[in-house]
Amino acid sequence: MSVEIVRITTFDGPHRFDPRPGVLARLRADRDCSAALRAVLKDAAQRVGLVIGHPHIESRSTGDTIWHDVFFVTPMPAIGAEMVRHIVALLGAQHAGDDTMDADSLLWDLQKKRRAAALPLQVLQLMAEASARGVPAFVRRDGFVQVGYGARGNAIDPALFRERGTALREADVGIGASPFARPALSALLPWDRLGAVPVVVVSGGATSATTAAFVSRLRQRRSSVAAALTASFDTARDCLTDPAAGAIVLDLDPVDLLWRGLPVEQCMVSALLDLPEELESEAGGRDDLARALGVALLVTSPGGRAVLNADHPAILALAGYAPCPLVLIARSGDHPALRAHRAAGGSALFLRRTAAVLARGTSETLIPLSPDEDPWKTLAVTALYFAFMEADAR
């Protein structure tokens, strides 16, 4: 049984398969090895001490080749990816009759890496309490734990817990009480001020110019707006930690969003403006790409707004998953989806000759366009601004 890794993807945030971090591995084999993969995956996870959930193996054949997609969720996707590489190497060695591979040593090394990367129990308790309170939390690139976004955030250094146990002072981390962690731990964070500042997530293809114009307009009405354009997962996370940010706008790199997931747990406004054709084959098709790039829709707050480009059928198909009111945009007001959306009292923007039209139900507001403006860009910027102001007023 010959098994080869084609690609391993580590999702560090919500993605099209699950809202939790996880690992997706595509494998190529000369026969169906689903049973063997399932057995060694479970055994390896137990021996490494890695928590995994919802393991799923999907197999399909093309000619003499059997393709396997292995997926599982785990709080440590990097360790999970290494574990998959070990599993594939082990199966390959067994197939070749190679008994020199020291499987126990490799698993022991992974266990040591897992222990070194693990957060202290006290920090995990505080993160669990944050989740129960609806406050976002994540591990930053510098190893600190960020609780909350922007000016409503706080950073915790896990090393303080390793060095002193729970005997920390308020001055050590910046700060409330809870029924989840022990009072001495919970009191370390100012829960009354922690949370998420308004976050706008824009995704699609070449959206940076549109997002930049929206940020410029937003800054005329609101101070302390932090923004990251064509942002990688890490750059977006860095922007979320800005202690001066009263609002955050993220224009996401579609490649990073496809292969690493969404860098935020929640947002006030999400927008999927288009689909980059060059990524369709990598995602597995247009519908899969729309689901991957539109995942921010699923974490948009119920009181927020989502902007969807109705001219793309794959994007429009996501409308049924929206937990919040929608703002649909299209080049023509005759679009059937816009007519139906407006008839139900929804908001929409579209172009009509030399103007953009902002419609709320049956009412319309004309926005004249100058000859030197890109009509579609202006429409998208207006939609983002309208969505933000509507959500922020709640």
Residue closest to 358 by CA, chosen among 335, 387, 325, 336: 387
User: 30-38: which pairs have CB atoms within 8 A and are 24 or more residues apart?
Assistant: 30/1, 30/2, 30/64, 30/65, 30/66, 31/1, 31/66, 32/59, 32/61, 32/66, 32/68, 33/1, 33/3, 33/66, 33/68, 33/91, 34/59, 34/68, 36/1, 36/91, 37/68, 37/70, 37/87, 37/91
Sole residue written with tokens 């959206």: 207
The torsion angles phi and psi of 24, rounded to 5 degrees, stand at -125, 120
Contact 29, 65 (CB under 8 A): yes
Q: Could you give the C-alpha distances from 188 to 142, 222, 309, 359, in angstroms and in order? A: 20, 31, 44, 48
3-state secondary structure of 228: strand
Give CA–CA dist 41/107, Å, rounded.
Answer: 12
pLDDT, greater one: 161 or 211: 211
Instruction: Give the model's pLDDT for residue 394.
Output: 73
Give CA–CA dist 85/70, Å, rounded.
Answer: 12
Whether 208 shows a pLDDT value over 90: the answer reads yes
- Angle (CA) 74-237-314 rounded to 5° is 75
Please list the helix, strand and coil fractions of the chain in percent, rounded to the nearest 5, in that order: 40, 25, 35
Whether 179 shows a pLDDT value over 50: the answer reads no
Whether 164 shows a pLDDT value over 60: the answer reads no
For the record, the structure tokens of 125 come out as 């308790």
Query: pLDDT tier at 105 (50, 70, 90 boundaries)?
Result: confident
**Rounded mean pLDDT, 267-293:** 95
Per mean pLDDT, which range of 3-17, 74-88, 95-109, 228-242 is the poorest?
95-109
Per mean pLDDT, which range of 96-110, 145-159, 347-361 is the poorest?
96-110
Give CA–CA dist 349/331, Å, rounded.
Answer: 8
**Residue 184, phi-psi category: left (phi > 0), alpha (psi -120 to 50), beta (remainder):** alpha
Whether 21 shows a pLDDT value over 60: the answer reads yes
The torsion angles phi and psi of 329, rounded to 5 degrees, stand at -125, 145
Q: 28-67 pLDDT, tens per residue?
A: 998 899 999 999 999 999 999 999 999 999 999 988 899 9
Residue closest to 262 by CA, chosen among 324, 327, 202: 202
Q: 291-313 pLDDT, tens per residue?
A: 999 999 999 999 999 999 999 99
Whether 167 shows a pLDDT value over 90: the answer reads no
Whether 276 shows a pLDDT value over 50: the answer reads yes
Query: pLDDT tier at 160 (50, 70, 90 boundaries)?
Result: confident
Distance, CA of 170 to chain centre: 32
Whether 188 shows a pLDDT value over 90: the answer reads no
Class of residue 155 by CB neighbours under 10 A (exposed 0-12, middle 13-18, buried 19+): middle
Q: 308-367 pLDDT, tens per residue?
A: 999 999 999 999 999 999 999 999 999 999 999 999 999 999 999 889 999 999 999 999
Whether 166 shows a pLDDT value over 70: the answer reads no
Q: How many CB atoms sit inside 10 A of residue 125's CB? A: 18
Sole residue written with tokens 């998959």: 84
Per mean pLDDT, which range of 171-175, 189-193, 279-283 is the poorest?
171-175
Give CA–CA dist 74/76, Å, rounded.
Answer: 5
**Rounded mean pLDDT, 70-87:** 96
3-state secondary structure of 344: coil
CA torsion 219-220-224-226 (nearest 10°) is 0
Radius of gyration of the chain (CA): 24
Q: 210-259 pLDDT, tens per residue?
A: 999 999 999 999 989 999 999 999 999 999 999 999 999 999 999 999 99
Between β-strands 65-73 and 53-62, what pairing exists: parallel, antiparallel or unpaired? Answer: antiparallel
Give CA–CA dist 329/311, Å, rounded.
Answer: 8
- Name the pTM for this structure: 0.90
Between β-strands 154-156 and 145-147, what pairing exists: parallel, antiparallel or unpaired? Answer: antiparallel
Give CA–CA dist 5/103, Å, rounded.
Answer: 18
